[in-house]
Structure 1
Amino acid sequence: MSDTDTHPVPAGAESPVDGPTQRVPRALIDDLDGTTGTPPERVADDSVGDVAVSVWTTAQTSPAAQRKGRYTPGSTAHPAKMLPAVAAHTIAHYTEPGDLVLDPMCGIGTTLVEALHAGRRAVGIEYEPHWVDVARANLALAHDAGVEHEGRVFHGDARQIASLLPPEYVGQAALVVTSPPYGPSTHGQVSVAPGAGVQKYHHLYGNTLDRGNLANIGHHRLLAGFTRILAGLTTYLRPGGHIAITIRPWREHAELIDLPSQILACGLHAGLIPVERCVALLARAAEHDLVARGSFFQRDFIRKQREAGLPLHLISHEDVLIFRTALTRSSSEKPKQVQTEPEHAPGSLSGLDARVRKGSEGAAA
């Protein structure tokens, strides 16, 4: 799934994790995949190392098939929808029935809908009024299907979470599932008109002039805003609660932007404890290979780059970073607030981001 060819390990490598990659049996994939009909059983802590579960086969069916019957037709217009199977897999593995699941940037409500269908309670925040309405319509659709658990959506900027969520949610959430906005890197949908060629539509977040929208304020300000959101979430998570963030890298002028590592830096700066880094497939795992589900624009871009001599590959996965909060909470603990810092202040997000990127470049070299 990387964008470079895999190189053979030099002879004499001592670490067992650096050994040759071995094929994962199809039966094991099915056992690990909650979308194929047999959810994995929970295992005791002392047996976690017995099976590898860091690769989630979350694209065994198409996105349209995953949303069929659970989401209103208007949901398809959102430019960056989370795969329902990714949310469902996360909820199944990090919560129990009756738990509260939170998404501070819930979009069309994918996290909330999948939580309700899994027997959990759900609450979300969404900045754009149109998507607030769509998310509420999707929750209503779940209730029409017989789901009885509570699901609520609040309208506002998640950076101001303390002024948006009622006090009843403080310390209650078992899990947060969310994803940062991808700004101009979204692909949306396409249409072909005679004489007009291929046209994009449904590929932008709201009004591009709205500087309050994290998708419109530039990469580094996005990271700072997302860090503030993560810090604010700790007030609403119970001790030991988890935060799952799905992130995919994107390209700017054919260069891969390592957003996952930058979001990892955001979580550390917000005081969260990283516990896992997983891969959620965006391609179907077939018997001997992956069947990509890339968009028209992704495929067209890759084709043009290969014709120009740059051997790029389709991005076929999202990283899933799993953080947790501390296992205990002091009675005097106050909500964290991340302040804006000078660009080169010691310990600032920019400095931490630079160290992460420098380490990544060193590893690549």
Structure 2
Amino acid sequence: MIDRLTSSWPLPMPPGAEPPNPPLSVWPTGQRDPLAQLRDAGCVPGTETDTERIPPAVAAHAIATYARPGDLVLDPDCGAGTVLVEALRAGRHALGLTARTRWWAVARANVTAAKTVGAWRDGSVLDARPKVLATVRAAGLIGRVGLVLTTLRTAPDRANGPDRDPVESALADLATTLLYCEPLLRSGGHVAVIAPLRQHPDGALVDLTTPLIAAGTSAGLAPVERCIALTAGLRGNRLVTHASLAERRGGARARAAGAPTALTAHHEVLVFQLAHDAELAAAAATGAAWPTEDEVIRPAVNGVEYPGWRRAA
């Protein structure tokens, strides 16, 4: 996988238009601390208790980069709804799913709050698991989602079994979710997975990149970009972490035990496209010939065949 897109810009440009500067692979999304970001976004009280949420600044950067105005942004496991808020604030439609009643109530309140202060796009939160996306209830979404933006969430309220790690369970769930989401992407759409760093007891980082890439490719997606979303502020030539008190105490305990542990300062971001879109971009970059419309037929997904060139724009 490459760290940059093969094309100069991830969104299709109008004829004759000059593309802007390519997006940075390091996103300066940690200039404000987490609580300040929630206040800036107008999120309701209780949003901060979703410790696995996508930070509003990270969500806003991803949406501005990979979704066009008027696009539909989908978070299939939306938690407290920070992605939905930022999508609405940016003039995109938003749809979130969550099976946890607690987060459903907070996410709905966040959508309502965003609309109250002027967001006019459609925003909805469904009390459902991602598997509903593979049913007839989601038929109207096929080929219409511009950006799937989600994160790796563990499920502390669900038994993972004595021999199964919660992170492994979360990765397996995400792989299935991406499979459900793939048919919903429009041509040129993107999937962005935000993965907070996780550490082993000895302080070493858990390798999430490899299984996340495997999850995307198994769902028929092609990895096109790998970025770093800073959660620490840039102060000149150094990073200032916004670690919580619990994280700082954990680091102090690790140092006292002789196992120094660094505070995390970024999230991993993996960006995917439909496999045929990525192949188109690579062919355009190299000047290679590409099959005609009649020759391009996507393989069946969830039992349905789609002509790759006839997806909704």
Q: TM-score, normalised by structure 2?
A: 0.77
Q: Which gives a bigger RCO, structure 1 or 2 (Cα 8 Å, sep 6+)? A: 2
Corresponding position of 2:229: 280
> What pairs up with 1:1-365 in 2 under 5 angstroms?
44=19, 48=22, 53-68=24-39, 70-163=42-135, 165-183=137-155, 205=156, 208=157, 210-211=158-159, 218-254=166-202, 255-325=204-274, 326-327=276-277, 333-336=299-302
Compare 241-250 and 322-331 and name the one that shifted more. Answer: 322-331
Q: How far does residue 296 in structure 1 lie from its aligned partner after superposition? A: 1.8
CA distance in 1, matches of 2:244, 2:171: 26
CA distance in 2, matches of 1:43, 1:257: 40
1:35-81 Cα offsets, whole Å, 9 max, x none, are: xxxxxxx9628x64xxx710001111111111116111122222322
1:99-125 Cα offsets, whole Å, 9 max, x none, are: 111100011111111001100111111
CA distance in 2, matches of 1:118, 1:295: 28
CA distance in 2, matches of 1:93, 1:292: 24
Contact 2:193 2:271 in 1 (8 A): yes
Distance 1:105 1:144, change over 3 A: same
**Structure 1: gaps of 5 or more residues:** 1-16, 18-41, 184-204, 338-365
CA distance in 2, matches of 1:43, 1:74: 43
1:239-269 Cα offsets, whole Å, 9 max, x none, are: 2210000002212322432123321221122
CA distance in 2, matches of 1:256, 1:293: 19
SS at match of 1:221: helix
Corresponding position of 2:308: none
For the aligned residues, what is the CA RMSD?
A: 2.6
Contact 2:197 2:266 in 1 (8 A): no
Q: How far does residue 278 in structure 1 lie from its aligned partner after superposition? A: 0.2
Distance 1:223 1:139, change over 3 A: same
Structure whose alpha-carbon radius of gyration is higher: 1
Contact 1:120 1:149 in 2 (8 A): yes
1:189-232 Cα offsets, whole Å, 9 max, x none, are: xxxxxxxxxxxxxxxx5xx2x349xxx97333332221111011
1:143-182 Cα offsets, whole Å, 9 max, x none, are: 1111110001111111342238532211101111100114
Compare 73-82 and 304-313 and name the one that shifted more. Answer: 304-313
Distance 1:333 1:265, change over 3 A: closer
Q: TM-score, normalised by structure 1?
A: 0.67
**Structure 2: gaps of 5 or more residues:** 4-16, 281-292, 304-313
Distance 1:311 1:164, change over 3 A: farther
Contact 1:248 1:259 in 2 (8 A): no
CA distance in 2, matches of 1:180, 1:76: 17
Contact 2:154 2:166 in 1 (8 A): no
AA of the residue aligned to 1:67 = L
